[in-house]
Amino acid sequence: MLDKIKSTLLGVAIGDALGVPVEFQDHIEIKKHPVTKMIGYGTHNQPPGTFSDDASLTFCLAEALTQDFDLNTIAANFIKWRNEDYWTATGCVFDIGITTSRAITKLEAGVKPELAGGFEPRDNGNGSLMRIAPLVFYLLDKPINERFEITRKVSSITHGHIRSVIACFYYLEFAMKLIKGMDKVEIYNDLQKNIPEFLLSISVDPLEISHFDRLLKQNISNVHSGTIKSGGYVIETIEASIWSLLTTDNYNDAVLKAINLGHDTDTTAAVTGGLAGLLYGMDNIPLEYRKVIARYDDIMDLAERMNDNLFEGKK
Ligand SMILES: [Mg+2]
């Protein structure tokens, strides 16, 4: 399991860092100079290997999973990130989403973590999806009701609307099945049945589920790239990530495909990279990326501590 934790965390961070220099470039702009390797600078003027909020908040969650599960610990880590540059790549926060920022302000004011996130349809940016990956290792052997409830709570620290929760849930169910060794296409097909069935069983509004129709009713891997959007909306991010994962066969191609869609490049690639890292493993993540990613040793150490707490202690 340790290797899987490592490749998931690193998968997120490297996808994020690859996308940071071209964040906000649109589809047409990025097509002129597609990203093919770790470049650095650009949009945020950060050196190669610099990850952003996506990976930082992922590590804040992972760090909380090195202790007994507690929403307050996760929330405290998020506050520490924004105020004290905790788990940043280079000692400063240079990118923060509006909904996340608002939620952290509420957390600081003492609002309960479960209630701090936005609950309106407009609060469905990709800010909880981009940081959710490590949670899969805590959910693994729990029943589906519990997996959903815990996912709902952890998403709600910043993003409380059901659409964001479903996106996180879909992503984590996908990740869980990858850990169990299932084939990605088999997983995709299984989820088309399992996810709506479960959501309807707990009385989620079918209209909300219908926002996921392209994933749940069509075959997203057959969709033309021109119709895959990659902005900050959580539906766009989950669609683009699953599409990038299903239409490639290695880590590098998956994250670069996500980035070269343009727009919210770092987040789309971070979300794709979590699953691709998990699926293809450490050895498939190019060595040149592993050498240049910020805080490599700290990330490996974090994975070790997560593994010790979640799996070794149980032996
Ligand atoms: Mg970012």
Model confidence pLDDT, tens digit, residues 229-269: 999 999 999 999 999 999 999 999 999 999 999 999 999 99
Cα of first residue to Cα of last residue in the chain, in angstroms, is 13
pLDDT of residue 314: 57
Query: What's 77's DSSP letter?
Result: H
Distance of CA 144 from the midpoint of ligand 1 (Å): 30
Centre of ligand 1 to C-alpha 197, Å, is: 33
With vertex at residue 130, the alpha carbon angle to CA 210 and CA 108, rounded to the nearest 5 degrees, is 110
Q: How far is the CA of 260 from the centre of ligand 1 (A)?
A: 15
Across the 315 residues of the chain, what is the mean pLDDT of every consecutive 10-residue run?
98 98 93 95 94 98 98 98 97 93 97 96 97 98 97 98 98 98 98 98 98 97 94 98 98 98 97 98 98 98 98 72
- How far is ligand 1, taken at its centre, from the CA of residue 287, in Å? 23
High-pLDDT (> 90) share of the chain, %: 98
Q: How far is the CA of 190 from the centre of ligand 1 (A)?
A: 31
pLDDT at 184: 98
Q: H-type helices in the chain, by residue range?
A: 2-19, 27-32, 53-64, 71-84, 98-108, 113-116, 135-139, 144-156, 162-179, 184-201, 206-209, 213-216, 234-246, 251-259, 265-280, 287-292, 296-307
Q: What is the DSSP letter of 46?
A: B
Cα-to-centroid distance, 81 and ligand 1 (Å): 13
Distance (Å) from CA 23 to ligand 1 centroid = 8
Question: From ligand 1's centre to the CA of 49, what distance in Å?
Answer: 13
Ligand 1 geometric centre to CA of 209 (Å): 27
Q: What is the pLDDT of residue 315?
A: 46
What single DSSP character describes residue 92? S
- The strand pairing partners of 233, in sequence order, are 125
Beta bridge partners, 41, equal 46
> Which tens digit of pLDDT belongs to each residue from 191-208?
999 999 999 999 999 999
Measured CA to CA in angstroms, residue 135 lies from 75, 123, 148, 153 at distances of 14, 21, 11, 11
